[in-house]
A and B are shown apart, each in its own frame.
Chain A
């Protein structure tokens, strides 16, 4: 009996990223473009407030939803920054990063056989978490629309069982941002067919060519929207594990029920840190955004110059070069680049449909390392000719 593990779990393959991580970990003198996190430390003002909370002895559990003071600070920030309006008492729940938020939201809304549309390539956790929640993923390949979800394609995928669509904009892994018009069209479909839009906006602050459009701020869409966001990317707080979900009270109440049994509450120190982050750190965020933007411009331009066609991504800190013309699969490309030139990238296939033929490069690394990585990639490309 003990050898009979969860059947659903056993059908889910381990993350392709994990496999690659194990290969990189043993290698020496590697420049990694494979990370998924900022290269900044958390701004000192935030760390200092966390330390102060510890000195004050703030080490207990908080309410399941999180400290009211923190929830209030976050909804004020969302209102001011993105024009998304939520009630701090009934419409927000603090979670262990956006990862937990995705999990409990899916478990709150799905029944066996319910379908969730996932435009791909996409972040790696959506599909397994839908499956674990008993749902069925309907993946859509967005290659033909340059990785922007296509409302017509979505319309064709809708069935009576469609329960939700998961959007991630700016996107991990492509860095693409979904234009407002497209969001409005997807919103109309969600209203007409009565399904949820789960919008992962964790990279919202890292949008470089204009203001960010939150789904929750679009007219009439709030009742259909489940907004996910967190502190990891915008405030360089990956290790703090703090995210949040905002949505209608009936959804938040259900997500809170799971959260209270499986997590109890988000870490209190991170919650105190978060209050300082949303209240007083806009300048730090701006400085980090400017720095990423400069690196994006330089890195993407030079990738194109050395023969890797790469669209300029509007946000996040990833770009998604096309490697199809090399004749290598994304896995072969990544493995050989690691072995022959000691540059780590993530093969595109791990991100689902449309990912093959691409690699994900994260440019949140020092300018000198980026330039050295470009030199090495250039050598690698030459060796393929």
Chain B
């Protein structure tokens, strides 16, 4: 990847709402160049989606999502290995992240729902019942400290002196 592409990507990764104007001026390139670059990164599928990091704690009570991290052990299938099972799991709307991992289990699946019940029934009715899923272990997320490299609930920056040498 060329350095300008990488720098544009770094800026929108940190702040997806940064205007093309601001990106252009920071990187000393034209606005048109930024837009062409972004469009091309989107078309190539390098940029898949622009999303937002939310601190659910700040939302009015009960409107926040419940999240759980599920360890899934499976029996790989002949010819397709993990792929066919992975595709089945990843399609569910409740699944927000899904990884194949090394170690004591196979898939790390992060699911989201409106209530504990929703997640529990998802695990029992949908996930655990898939053929070749051998076992699951569900960990409900109780508190979020950091997401996508961003500290959550960080105290505001301390005041610097307004004028200093």
A residues within 8 Å of B by Cβ? 15, 17, 20-21, 24-25, 30, 32, 34-37, 39, 41, 123-125, 172, 290, 293-295, 297-298, 301-302, 344, 346, 367, 371
Contact = CB atoms under 8 A, between A and B. Distances in A.
A39 B162 contact: no
B25 A297 contact: yes
A35 B26 contact: no
26 contacts: A15-B165, A20-B163, A21-B164, A24-B163, A25-B162, A30-B162, A32-B160, A32-B163, A34-B163, A34-B164, A35-B160, A35-B164, A36-B165, A37-B164, A41-B157, A124-B165, A293-B26, A294-B27, A297-B25, A297-B26, A297-B28, A298-B25, A301-B28, A302-B25, A346-B163, A367-B18
A301 B26 CA distance: 9
Contact of B163 (A21, A293, A295, A301): A21
A35 B159 CA distance: 11
B163 A123 contact: no
Interface residues of B, number: 16
Nearest to A351: B165
Contacts of B157: 39, 41
B11 interface: yes
A367 B22 contact: yes
A365 to B, nearest CB: 9
B150 interface: no
A32 B18 CA distance: 22
Contact of A21 (B25, B26, B162): B162
A34 B26 contact: no
A178 to B, nearest CB: 20
B160 A21 contact: no
Contacts of A30: 162
